[in-house]
Structure formats: structure tokens, C-alpha cells
């Protein structure tokens, strides 16, 4: 019996020992800059000859590492290797499969500073966010191990006269795992390990901006003893390799997390049956958000402002759960925007490797340009009271930006920007605030700050989001405690880190024997 699941404790960097270990890890990672990682297919290390470089967004001259770019031929080879491995992997007991994840969890715990340091350099997360991301990965490995064992237990079916009935869960087959860069360890590890521990074999195509972290995780799984072919690593461009995997007739399921635009395309592509295809593909697609925090007239304003800032500017606003709309009831509107501006002004921004910087860079040049374009749009849609400019001479830094007096149907109040840009919207009263909050195509996270129990009750009933928070920030869902996934265009509500998640990667076989 495994001990009961517990979330891994977050690293406290106010302790000297932790600070020192992180500095050492950053130095170690820096000394390895430029290292090359192969494609891994059926345990074989392969070079395609075409290299994909991953840069440090805090300093674009640093090449953090390099991977080999996959091709359609290699994708086909990876899918075949995964099917070969599936034949034996599907027969390995759930307990034994879980054993590999638990071993990997142990390795991740041992290397948590190194992984966090690599994340600081590859994706510009600050120390605290990076170590929380690694902690979440450990949680996923531990949680899904236990879940796999649970789903392998005898399932309840009722008896029928003269017959014995059983129901067992069997894996689906070969899946394509396509994660985003913004939780480069947590989400990648969660998506990959859940599918594997359920008995499937996979081809993992990491996000190009976080491909080194993806390669590192594959090394860890290899070290944990995972049999060859169960996890195949195929970096490469989403529009080439990703698209090839999604449309391939031999792919049984796709687990995707990323933007709405790509997610909807994948859903469509996967729906078209290909010549020789024997199944309808199962698609899990977790997508974007336009998350709102409501500040009611009866709210603790200071708390609310703190929650908005943490949710809007943590990891530069590049979390799917980030707050990008603050909907404030008119009675406290002026007070909230004054406090917001004053507190946000004090945020330190700069290279993520410096512990003092709360905000680092956005992920790449394209993101920098896209966010800058939205800031230009915002200038016509609201009143810019803070930020609005950036500096991409060395890295991709954009100041925390606040637009006030934004109308609820403005573009910056409707479209996901994925950067440190907050639209503040005024509401007449709590009811109107709720209507505005629900008035986008998305439905991922949301928060309500109010001390009024009636309004809390109403929010529970009417705020249509997959993850609702009351009197706290809308980011930072904990595995097991707050299963994560959105409504509407935010995705398929898969609830990662929840009790139903593994069900998405297995199918039920009902067996009846006449006596």
C-alpha cells in the first residue's frame, strides 16, 4: 500500500540553504548551455541533422540547449515503435507501471533545483514559480500512480442470474502528447505520465520553447527504467510534426494543452477519419482563458488587490489561469484602481535568474510583438494607468500594464492576450459583475472577493468556470485538491489532477460469463 497522497511542499527561498542550492543549480545549468539532446524512438537515440535551438528569453543570446527536429518519417517511426511497445506495456500490471512513475518522482525530487534552474533559463519563470512547477510535476507523478492502481481494482457491477460479470479498464493504444511551454515540467509530466501509467504508449512532442525541459524529463524516465518505446520523444514544429501526429491514422488519442486556436484545429483534424483508421480518435484539449476576478462592494479590498496582482502578473500573465479582467463594483472602483496601481508599480522586472525580480520576460519575440499589439489596441479601448511599454533589446520584457474603464466587450476584455496586461471593468453591482464575468467564450478560472455569504452562494451557482475561487487568487491549483480544467472554449474539462482524469486514457471492457 502506498502512503496517502500529499502535495509536495513548496521551496522556501527565504532559507539560506535553499537559496544556495538554487544558485548552485543555476551555475550548473549555465555551464551546460548549448548541450544537444537526441530524438528518442524505441530507446534509440536519433539525430535528424536539423537542429532546433532553445533560447533564454531573459537574454536571447543564450542558447540553453538544442534538440533534433523531428520529421514526418521519424514521426511514423515513433508511432510504430510505440505500437510495438504497447503489446507488452498494456500487460504490465498497474502497480508495476506506477512503480516507474514513483521512481521518476524520486529522481525529480532529487533534481528539483536543477530542473527549476533550467526552467528559469529556458522559459523565464522566477525561482518561486519554477520550483512550484517542479513540485506540481512531483504531485502529478505521485497522484496518477495511485490513480492507476485504483482504476485497476475490481469495478462494481451488479450480478445477473446465472452469470458472473466483471468490468475492467484497458488502455487505448498509442497517443500523441502535445503540451504547452508555460508549465513546461508540470503539464508535460502530468499529460505524459497519466497516459503511460494507464497502460498506453506515447509520442511526446514538447513545445518548441520548452523542448530542453521535455528532453530532460525523458532522460529521467529512462533512468527510472521505463521500457524502451513506451515514451518516445519527438521534438519539432507544431505545424509540421504536431499536425502529422494528429492526422495520422495510427494515433488512437491526442492529449493537448495549449491555445484555443491550435486546440480547435486539432479537434477538427482529429475528427476526420483517415484511410485505414480503425477508431474515432479521442481528443483531450485544454485551452485558453479570459479569467476574471470580481471585486464586490463588500470585499476586503487589500486582499482583492493582492489576489489580482498575483493572478495577473505571476509568470508575466502567461498562465492559462491568469487574471486578465478585474471586474470591480462601482462603490470600490476608485479605491481598487488606486491600490492596484500603487502596488503594481513596485513590481521588479528583469532577468528571471535574479531572485529579486518578481517578473521575468515573456516567452519569445512573437509573444512580445503580439502582447505589444494588444497594448496598442488597449490604448483605444481604455485608459492606460500603468506600464504599456517594454524592452526587447536583451530579453523580452513587458512592464505590468493596467487599462481602466474598459468596456466588457472590448477586444482586450474578450481575447486572451497571454501577457501582463490587465483590463479593469466597472460594474454597477454584483449581479452585473457576474454577467460580465460570464460574458466571454471562455470559462477556465475565476475569483470572487466578497464577504457577503449570499453573494458567495450566487457565485457558486452562476459563475460558469471550471475552477472557481472565493476570496483568493485564481491561479495555483493544487493537484488533488483543485482538479483543473475549463468550460466552453477553455477546453474539454478534463480536470487534470482529479479523480476522473485517468478515465480519459482508458476504456471499459465488460465481461460476462454464463455459469
By the 8 A CB rule, do 286 and 494 touch?
yes
- The phi, psi pair for 281, rounded to 5°, reads -75, 140
Which residues between 16 and 55 bind Mg ion (CB under 5 A)?
54-55
Size of interface with ligand NAP, in residues (CB under 6 A): 35
Taking CB under 6 A as the rule, does residue 243 contact ligand NAP? yes
Question: Can you tell me which of 183, 253, 368, 397 binds ligand NAP, judged by CB under 6 A?
Answer: 183
Q: Which among ligand NAP, Mg ion, none contacts residue 316 (Cβ within 5 to 8 A by kind)? A: none
Whole-angstrom distance, CA of residue 291 vs CA of residue 447:
8
For the bound state, the minimum distance from the C-beta of residue 173 to ligand NAP, rounded and expressed in Å, comes to 19
Q: Which residues are catalytic?
A: 286, 320
- Name, in order, each residue with C-beta under 8 angstroms of 495's C-beta and a sequence gap of 6 or more: 466, 483, 484, 485, 501
Cell numbers given for 432: 452585473
**If contact means CB under 5 to 8 A according to the sort of partner, which of Mg ion, ligand NAP, none does residue 55 touch?**
Mg ion
- Alpha-carbon span 367 to 238, nearest angstrom: 16
Half-sphere exposure of 364 (CA within 13 A, CB side): 12
8 A C-beta contact, residue 342 and residue 348: no
Are residues 249 and 220 in contact, defined by beta-carbon separation less than 8 angstroms? no
Q: How far is CA 397 from CA 181, 261, 324, 361, 384, in A?
A: 17, 25, 18, 4, 18
Q: Which stretch binds ligand NAP (CB under 6 A): 67-75, 235-243, 339-347, 375-383?
A: 235-243
Contact code string over 153-172 relative to ligand NAP, x by CB under 6 A:
--------------------
Q: Does 131 bind Mg ion (CB under 5 A)?
A: no
Among 118, 226, 231, 246, binds ligand NAP (CB under 6 A): 246
Cα–Cα distance measured from residue 317 to residue 311, given in angstroms and rounded to the nearest whole number: 7
Instruction: Output the smallest distance, CB 67 to Mg ion, in A.
Output: 11
Per-residue binding letters, 314-333, with ligand NAP (x by CB under 6 A): ------x-------------
Question: Judged by CB under 6 A, which of 237, 452, 471, 507 binds ligand NAP?
Answer: 237
Quick one: which segment of 23-31, 151-159, 205-213, 270-278 binds ligand NAP (CB under 6 A)? 205-213
Contact between residue 313 and residue 305 where contact means Cβ atoms under 8 Å apart: no
The answer to whether the CB of 507 falls within 8 A of the CB of 153 is no
Of 291 and 344, which CB lies nearer to ligand NAP in the complex structure?
Answer: 291
Residues 436-455 binding ligand NAP (CB under 6 A) are 444
Q: What does the per-residue mask of binding to Mg ion show for 198-237, with x meaning CB under 5 A?
A: -----------x----------------------------
Q: Which does 289 bind (CB under 5 to 8 A by kind): Mg ion, ligand NAP, none?
A: ligand NAP
Angle at 132 between CA 129 and CA 137, to 5 degrees: 130
d(CA 257, CA 500): 17
Other C-beta atoms lying within 10 Å of the C-beta of residue 267: 17
Residue found by looking up cell 513545445 in the block: 207
Binding site for ligand NAP (CB under 6 A): 178-183, 187, 205, 207-209, 237-239, 242-243, 246, 257-259, 262, 265-266, 286-289, 320, 416, 418, 444, 484, 486, 490-491
Amino acid at each position: 500500500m502506498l502512503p496517502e497522497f500529499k502535495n509536495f511542499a513548496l521551496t522556501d527561498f527565504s532559507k539560506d540553504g535553499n537559496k544556495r542550492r538554487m544558485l548552485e543549480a543555476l551555475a550548473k545549468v549555465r555551464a551546460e548551455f548549448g548541450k544537444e539532446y537526441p530524438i528518442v524512438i524505441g530507446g534509440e537515440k536519433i539525430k535528424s541533422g536539423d537542429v532546433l535551438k532553445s533560447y533564454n528569453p531573459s537574454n536571447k543570446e543564450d542558447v540553453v540547449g538544442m534538440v533534433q527536429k523531428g520529421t514526418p518519417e521519424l514521426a511514423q517511426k515513433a508511432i510504430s515503435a510505440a505500437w510495438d511497445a504497447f503489446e507488452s506495456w498494456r500487460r504490465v500490471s498497474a502497480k508495476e507501471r506506477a512503480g516507474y512513475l514513483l521512481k521518476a518522482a524520486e529522481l525529480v525530487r532529487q533534481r528539483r533545483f536543477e530542473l527549476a534552474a533550467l526552467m528559469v533559463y529556458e522559459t523565464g519563470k522566477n525561482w518561486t514559480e519554477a520550483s512550484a512547477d517542479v513540485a506540481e510535476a512531483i504531485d502529478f507523478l505521485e497522484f496518477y500512480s495511485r490513480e492507476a492502481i485504483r482504476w485497476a481494482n475490481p469495478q462494481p457491477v451488479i450480478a445477473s442470474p446465472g452469470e458472473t460479470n466483471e468490468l475492467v479498464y484497458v488502455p487505448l493504444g498509442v497517443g500523441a502528447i502535445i503540451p504547452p511551454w508555460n508549465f513546461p515540467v508540470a503539464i508535460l509530466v502530468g499529460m505524459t505520465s497519466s497516459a503511460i501509467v494507464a497502460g498506453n504508449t506515447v509520442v511526446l512532442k514538447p513545445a518548441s520553447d520548452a523542448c530542453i525541459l521535455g528532453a530532460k524529463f525523458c532522460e529521467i524516465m529512462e533512468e527510472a527504467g521505463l521500457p524502451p518505446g513506451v515514451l518516445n520523444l519527438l521534438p519539432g514544429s507544431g505545424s509540421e510534426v504536431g499536425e502529422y501526429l494528429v492526422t495520422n491514422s495510427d494515433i488512437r488519442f491526442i492529449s493537448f494543452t495549449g491555445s484555443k486556436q491550435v486546440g480547435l484545429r486539432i479537434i477538427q483534424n482529429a475528427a476526420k477519419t483517415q484511410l485505414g483508421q480503425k477508431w474515432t480518435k479521442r481528443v483531450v484539449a485544454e485551452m485558453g482563458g479570459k479569467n476574471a476576478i470580481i471585486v464586490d462592494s463588500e470585499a476586503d479590498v487589500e486582499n482583492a488587490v493582492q489576489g489580482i496582482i498575483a493572478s495577473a502578473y505571476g509568470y508575466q500573465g502567461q498562465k492559462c489561469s491568469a487574471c486578465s479582467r478585474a471586474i470591480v463594483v462601482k462603490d470600490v472602483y476608485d479605491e481598487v484602481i488606486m491600490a492596484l496601481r500603487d502596488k503594481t508599480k513596485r513590481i521588479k522586472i528583469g532577468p528571471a535568474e535574479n531572485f529579486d525580480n518578481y517578473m521575468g520576460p515573456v516567452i519569445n519575440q512573437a509573444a512580445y510583438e503580439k502582447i505589444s499589439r494588444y497594448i496598442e489596441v488597449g490604448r483605444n479601448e481604455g485608459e492606460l494607468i500603468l506600464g504599456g511599454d517594454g524592452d526587447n533589446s536583451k530579453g523580452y520584457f513587458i512592464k505590468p500594464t493596467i487599462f481602466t474603464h474598459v468596456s466588457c466587450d472590448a477586444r482586450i476584455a474578450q481575447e486572451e492576450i497571454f501577457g501582463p496586461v490587465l483590463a479593469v471593468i466597472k460594474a454597477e453591482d454584483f449581479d452585473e459583475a457576474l454577467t460580465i464575468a460570464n460574458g466571454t467564450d471562455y470559462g477556465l478560472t475565476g475569483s470572487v472577493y466578497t464577504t457577503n455569504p449570499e453573494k458567495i452562494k450566487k457565485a457558486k451557482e452562476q459563475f460558469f468556470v471550471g475552477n472557481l475561487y472565493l476570496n483568493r487568487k485564481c491561479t495555483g491549483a493544487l493537484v488533488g485538491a483543485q482538479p483543473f480544467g475549463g468550460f466552453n472554449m477553455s477546453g474539454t474539462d478534463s480536470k487534470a489532477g482529479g479523480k476522473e482524469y485517468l478515465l480519459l486514457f482508458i476504456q471499459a471492457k465488460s465481461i460476462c460469463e454464463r455459469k
